[in-house]
Amino acid sequence: MLFNSLHYAFFLPLVVMGYFAFPARLRWMLLLAASYYFYMCWRPAYAVLIVTSTTVDFAMARTMAGTDRPGLRRGLLATSLIVNLGLLFFFKYYNLFAFTTNEMLGWTETPAAVPALDLLLPVGISFYTFQSLSYTIDVFRRQRPPERHFGYYALYVSFFPQLVAGPIERSDHLLPQLKTPQRFQPENIEDGLKLLLWGYFKKLVIADRLALYVNHVYGHSDAASSGQLVLATYLFAFQIYCDFSGYSDIATGSAQLMGYRFRANFRQPYLSANIREFWSRWHISLSTWFRDYVYLPLGGSHCSLKLWIRNIMVVFLLSGLWHGANWTFVVWGGLHAGYYLIHRLYSWCRPRRIGEPRGWFARGMSVIVTFHAVLLAWVFFRAGSVGQAGQILRRIATEGWRMTQGVQIPGFGSYELGVGLAAICLLLAVERFGAEDFRGLLQHRPQPVRWAFYYAVVLAVLNLGMFNNPQQFIYFQF
Amino acid sequence: MMLPYSRRWLSFCGGLLAILLVNHAGLEVLHRQLPTNRAQEMLDAPAGDFDVVVLGSSASVEAIDAEELEQQLNVSVRHLGARGTAYPEQHLILDLFLNQNRAKTLLFQVDSWGLSSTSYSHPFHEYFYLPFLDHPIIRRGLREYYGDGVVRRWAWVPMFKYAEFNSEMGTQAILKAWRASKNVRDKPRYVRSKRSLPEALIQRVRQGGMRPERDRDRTRQAYFERIVQLAQQRGMRVVFCVAPVFGARQERAIGADDEVLEFYRQYARERGIAIYEWGASDCDDPTLFADLSHLNAHGAERFTDGLAQCLRMDGRGSATGVAE
């Protein structure tokens, strides 16, 4: 079930009404049933994977908490890691592993030895696996007690608003909320609806519109002109941002209707003045996950320069690989690692000059440079292969902005481009001059101004949203 | 002063509903004033009596020259062919037409892909008809195809249909409509061109790599039969013409779906319906085609000539075609 489907438009109000109509002690059952229904709409059989992950982690954490034997505790944690990462590896990375192994065997003229399997990637497996793992690791570190109620824990892993594409919530933040009966509060409904509205605006008006152009140009990159490749890359930067942050807004808004609050997943990432700032604003739940469960255990920055560089590289390469079973994502992660290292090393050398630009001009220039560094990495993220990305960059570098003799983009003319650019301007204006969180936007303005703005956004979504060309959320594939 | 929540909510929702109703009504009025879609064109046309009515998809738009047919046979012809339409939409078009017009002969273009559920990416262009949901025939036609629940949503939820199809019926469509004075979607694209098939395509067909797998969709077959029944109920003579496809008589070519063509032939035989189709020599001539399933100007001229002869002979025979 997609957030941008009619199915969800009926599902969500029914669940919210049911939630407040149910007795408080039984609400977890309703939400758990709704969450599994939500997931099983896609492919019922793969619910078994969530059940397995949930059961194993719940049992391991309970047993872990009941013993002080360090060896046993480590063994239990290892079991949890092996089961969760094993499932993730098998469904997500097995074919990449088979392909790469066979390619390498091909270099030595050895026949292919690892058969490729016809596997369908279970939606959201990377998200719920990481969410479940964070709980087990927290219990292992004694940072939280184990959850005693299997139902609440199962709901924490499968809670439908964030099940398939995050935000990756931590157990210490979400579990206590799930266990606390939420009261009906009009403020929550109001804020939830605001976020849903803004999320749908980003997804339907901007992301799905830009997808028409980006998908076609990247799908026919040989025939596209270099100018089209440049434009498609710029548009992709906004497509993926609006698609993913739109998803996060819809997820957060859906949860808030029932009184639950998720942590912010995006905070105006394209207004970052350096790459470190970018990673504190982009996909925050994932970057903090890697920080807490990979970077810091490796030693973080409290180690030698060499080890610190290794830690940064490991985190970013893993983060790239987390996104998908393709070497393009690894290169994308590697590029970000490179940016990060360059920024940090440079800021250590000249802390006053680059640490925090003070003037608006200096900051503006830093924002532009950072955005273009991120843009360069997006080429690898979007391309189908490293070779294609290299070819696109080569053509952009050698042919410049040639717009003639490109490909015809079906369904995307000057009107679509104009609407897309206008919507991006509105988005940037809201982010730059409005509140960091859409819920707080215009809150100090008179009511007629606020209402006029919300009405305008509703009309924009209905009149300009791409309802008859629904695109799956990009992060569903991860 | 802050209003209490319930009053604020009621005011906000009331205002929103009012705005949606105004938006909906505005689009409704605009669409009814713009003669740019096929339903509007048909509803606006004055009622009349016609000798021949042509019904079909884009293949009929490109292959059958209505003016040429009028001149050759000295009869009145109305071309109802519409691009990208499968039999369900063609049924609605004919039903709408016969509601205010009369005709003697239905020239029904059939094709080898017409019964397949995978042919046409959007086989029923519902958005052409949605502004006219109050028309009983349109409402019935859409209800039969999409179901009662879907049509109720379109009819009663403000802005639902305009949001769902806003690429086709929204602001962009209205801007386009202002620029175009009449329905340009169903005008022949190739009839005035002399374009022939590219050599690479010819070679691909001759090497036998262009035949797609096709299923046989019951809904489309039922609508095909309903079209014939509707015409016969109105006392019309029905003539089938098979859309010419390049290389159709060669094995493994795009149109060589003998099973489907045989179905049409047998259906026609059982009901005494004349059927006109091109022979191998015409179907294998690349100079007659603009693409694999559409004729160019030269092809259309030859096809229309043959069709005129077939009709002149009252469907009993034809120089180039096969008729019963």
Task: Provide the 3-class DSSP secondary structure of residue A113.
Answer: coil
Contact flag B167-A466 (C-beta cutoff 8 Å):
yes
CB-nearest partner of A467 from B15, B163, B175: B163
Contacts of A184 in chain B (CB under 8 A): none
Residue B303 in any domain: the answer is: yes
* Start-to-end Cα distance in chain A: 16
B117 burial (CB, 10 Å; 0-12 / 13-18 / 19+) is: middle
Determine, yes or no, domain membership for B243.
Answer: yes
| Given A216, A283, A323, A343, the catalytic residue | A323
Q: Which residue has the higher pLDDT, A453 or B180?
A: A453
Give residue B2's identity as a one-letter amino acid code.
Answer: M
In angstroms, the separation between the Cα of residue A156 and the nearest Cα of chain B is 32
Of residues B252 and B77, more confidently modeled: B77
Domain carrying residue B227: 38-123+188-312
Q: What is the mean pLDDT of chain B?
A: 80
Task: Please list every residue in chain A whose beta carbon sits closer than 8 Å to the beta carbon of residue B166.
Answer: 462-465, 467-468
Q: Is position B65 within any domain? A: yes
The mean per-residue pLDDT over the stretch B70-93 comes to 88
CATH code for the domain of B278: 3.40.50.1110
From A181's Cα to the closest Cα of chain B, the distance in A is 22
Q: Is B121's Cβ below 8 Å from some Cβ in A?
A: no
Which is higher by pLDDT, B230 or A304?
B230
Average pLDDT over residues B206-226: 76
CB-CB neighbors (< 8 A) of B172 in chain A: 415-416
Instruction: Please judge whether A469 and B23 are an interchain contact, meaning their C-beta atoms are less than 8 angstroms apart.
Output: no
Within-domain flag for B105: yes
In a domain, B253, yes or no: yes
A456 touches chain B (CB under 8 A): no
Among A376, A381, A379, A373, which Cα is nearest to A273's?
A: A373
User: How far is the C-alpha of A456 from the C-alpha of A439, rounded, in Å?
Assistant: 16
For B16, nearest residue in chain A (alpha carbons): A455
User: Does residue B291 register a pLDDT over 60?
Assistant: yes
Q: Which member of B9, B159, B175 has the closest CB to residue A462?
A: B159
Q: Which two tokens stand for residue A452?
A: 């006029």
CA distances to A58, A82, A124, A187, A444 from A137, rounded to whole Å, are 12, 13, 20, 35, 43
Does the structure show a pLDDT above 70 at B211? no
**B322 band by pLDDT with thresholds 50, 70 and 90:** very low
Contact flag A455-B15 (C-beta cutoff 8 Å): yes
* A463 to chain B, closest Cα gap in Å: 6
Q: Which residues of A31-54 are buried (b: 16+ CB within 10 A; e: fewer)?
A: bbebbbebbeebeeebbebbeebb
Q: How many domains does chain B have?
A: 1
Q: How confident is the model at residue B193 (pLDDT cuts 50, 70, 90)?
A: low
Higher local confidence (pLDDT), B254 or B21: B21
Is residue A336 among the annotated active site residues?
no
Per the structure block, which two tokens stand in for A49?
A: 């994977």
Interface of B with A in 221-240 (CB under 8 A): none
Q: Is the ipTM of this complex over 0.95?
A: no
Judge whether residue B173 has pLDDT over 80.
no
Encode pLDDT of A394-430 as tens digits. Answer: 988 888 777 777 788 887 888 889 999 999 999 988 8
**Between B150 and B254, the higher pLDDT residue:** B150
Q: Which tokens sit at B156?
A: 């009663």
Domain assignment present for B114: yes
Among A387-401, B244-258, B282-296, where is mean pLDDT lowest? Answer: B244-258
Q: Do A469 and B167 touch (CB under 8 A)?
A: yes
Name the range with the highest mean pLDDT among A314-328, B21-35, B275-289: A314-328
The amino acid that residue A195 corresponds to is L
CA trace torsion A71, A75, A78, A80 (10° rounding):
-130
pLDDT surpassing 70 at residue B321: no
Strand pairing class (B289-291; B294-295): antiparallel
Q: Per-residue pLDDT tens for A185-217?
A: 888 998 999 999 999 999 999 999 999 999 999
Q: What whole-number percentage of chain B has pLDDT above 90?
A: 20
Mutate to test the interface with B, among A463, A464, A466, A469 (most CBs of B within 10 A): A463
Inter-chain touch A463–B5, beta carbons under 8 Å:
no
**In chain A, which residues have pLDDT < 70?**
112, 351-358, 434-436, 469-470, 475-478
